[in-house]
Amino acid sequence: MSASPQDTLHSDRLLLRRELLFAQVAQIEETIEDILGETYPFPEPPDLPSRQKRRAKKAASRKKAKGSSAGKGAAAVRLRPLQDGEAGYCLIWRQEDGEERRDWLEDGAPLASILKYPSGNLQPIRIETVDKEGKCLEILWQTEITDHAPENSEKEFLDQNLPHS
């Protein structure tokens, strides 16, 4: 059974949010260790479902029905794998209220679906490769018309989005 385009888009958005939250946890742990000036013995993370071993199911063969409309009009964008020196992808997108956001991902798989099925509350603007500091290395895709100023630092992004004490 395959997921609908809306379900795929929703799960891709959740994957983006998951990556952002993992990045925030890593930043928080680094900040705590910087404040203490030493390594802190953080407890092991919880046993997430994604870390549990599962038995592989046999995949049923699927053939696309003739005349199927799946993928018609979709953006034909294929992101290349990360190269040496690239730590991940950065998706710059605009929310429904016009606010611009940035999300970092180590895996580009969810991005293809986001480009294929844009919605009112997630309009992709640009996809870049970034280094481990969040600096743009290469623009892989962008909309034809953009009216935003690029940001270069993941640290700036996290500083804006993490609670401050």
Q: Which residue has the higher pLDDT, 82 or 76?
A: 82
- What is the pLDDT, as a whole number, of residue 149? 43
pLDDT of residue 126: 92
Does the pTM exceed 0.85? no
Radius of gyration for the chain, computed over Cα atoms and rounded to the nearest angstrom: 19
Of residues 65 and 139, which shows the higher confidence score?
139
Q: For 29-66, write each residue's pLDDT tens digit.
A: 888 999 999 999 988 877 777 777 767 666 554 444 33
Q: 9-18, 48-57, 84-93: which range is least confident on average?
A: 48-57
